[in-house]
Amino acid sequence: MKSLNTRASWLLSRTPCPGIQMKSGGLSLLIDYIIVGGGSSGCVMANRLSANGSRVLLIEAGPDFRPDAIPDDILDGDPTRAYYNPRYQWPSLNATIVQDVSRRTHYEQARVMGGGSSINAQVANRGAPADYDEWASGGATGWDWEGVLPYFRRLECDLDFNNEFHGNDGPLPIRRVGKAEWSGFIRAASSAFEDSGIPFRPDFNGEFGDGHSVVPLTNRNRHRVSAAMAYLSKSVRARPNLTILPETTVVRLTSSGRQITGVETESETGRHSYSASTVVLCAGAIHSPALLMRSGIGPAEQLLNVGIPVVADLNGVGKNLQEHPGVAISAYLRQDDRMAPVATGYIQMHARYSSGYEGCPSSDMAISALAKSAWHPIGKRLGTLAFWVNRAYSTGTVSLRNSSHATEPEVNFNMLSDKRDGERLKEAFRFVAQLLQHKALLALALDPFPSTWNGRAKRISKYNRLNFGLTSIVATLMESSSWLRRSLIRSVITDGHSISDLLDSDELLGHFIRQNAFGNFHPTSTCRMGPALEPTSVTDPSGRVHQVSGLRVADASVMPFCPRANTNIPTIMVAEKMSHAILNER
């Protein structure tokens, strides 16, 4: 059969190690670890587990790029082109954002080597020490701040700080956007934050607390450094015991009783099976639980309803889905106060502050300040304060619609279902609207309006010539007169509601928040760590899946809850810590 022979020849030429053998009727790999998913955590796992000679197979559903052939849009320090390139996304993944609002939307999740780190905004913050202490007290033993800080240090090569908080010889460079690169809009926002009691902090990954700061980025020389670039370097890829299979989908896990024996895959060469001592899921908080359930590991009743035989009845699989719900306010910027074309990154300033809402910790809210809101001519003229609930309490679910791997799971974030989240987001809208009335911002952030991340905004953000042409026309009209600009904002950009409309009516503001809340693409917690007897726990603290053997999960899905941070660096930390645990056991 051509597909098997082709696949076997390619693998044998790619990885000439003694653990690969041909057997009659197909290809047999004697593999120590199969890693499912080449996102941030998968890249870490492939590097660390193959470093000591273990035979590792890394499988990624999306494309892979050699270190000397990274596409320009991925390499670009400005993520707005790569982020909206459909080549790097799961094309059919949709999600319900707010349960009782009839709005399903495409949910952008990376399908490319490096995962989100190849297309995201590169923000490199960690979260609060208290987040990790709470993980540990809830049953994730060893994941307190003292237990995770060494792995935050291990992953990074901080180019700005050298102290007890930072590492300086890890694979991932972290640098900060200097104040000298701040646009006029960002400098004015900084003044407004200072006068509102949110002081400047030079190091956002130092002592944790309220404040605003230059943004730490996974970036070097104004270029992105993804997990794939950092962990799958040319020398790592040359290891004879590491095989990488891109553009290959894992259909299901194979098993014998409750022993996981390997995976079944699908690619352009057909269906293949691979066996290994251990399978490590690094497919993310949406696709890791979906793969578990397709393989018979999950809530028994749900599995039987879609015709999947039960291997292990684990009720927590797909439960506890979390995200950071947010909305935004934008304004038209004077030309001299926009982001310079050569400036680093995309988000120029980040802030944390405390809502004071009962039952919520300090520094539970976040704001990102952008002096450019998109790649196109309209976006280059708009400044945005995007704000979100940094410690959320609402939880949702990932479930199967049927047993087919070709059908994306049902994703329901159920955002704002916890009253604390909705009320804090409304109050954040009022706070940011007040910030924009600060004297420093009034002079240069003109005609502010509530931003919406709806289908129209997503369509116009796709990087193509048509969108460039359309937005060029609108941008030219916006600059021609202030009256026409306000008219276009009201009729073309927004849904017709002004900031004052929303501030005058708590009911209208609540409706706007529920209709327009968006996620920050930080899904977590659908295979959460915890004790085996805890009903919603899926793995133990080293990622071993309860009730089965030979299977681990090592991505953002194991987080007990979403930390107060952009989740890329915490996800890499999770993989660093779990790979260390695996190697220690071995």
CA 252 to chain centre: 23
β partners of residue 445: 333
Give the DSSP H or E segment for 184: helix 184-195
Give the separation between CA 319 and CA 399, rounded to whole angstroms. Answer: 8
CB 568 within 8 A of CB 219: no
Give the separation between CA 333 and CA 213, rounded to whole angstroms. Answer: 21
Give the separation between CA 213 and CA 195, rounded to whole angstroms. Answer: 15
Residues carrying an active site annotation: 522
Residue 468 in tokens:
């460039």
Pairing of strands 172-176, 156-158: parallel
Give the DSSP H or E segment for 442: helix 439-442
Total length of the chain: 586
Give the separation between CA 46 and CA 32, rounded to whole angstroms. Answer: 11
Quickly list H helices, 34-77.
40-50, 72-75
Q: Say which DSSP state 574 is in.
A: H
Residue 149 in tokens:
């800080």
CA angle 7, 10, 12 (to 5 degrees): 105
CB 416 within 8 A of CB 514: yes
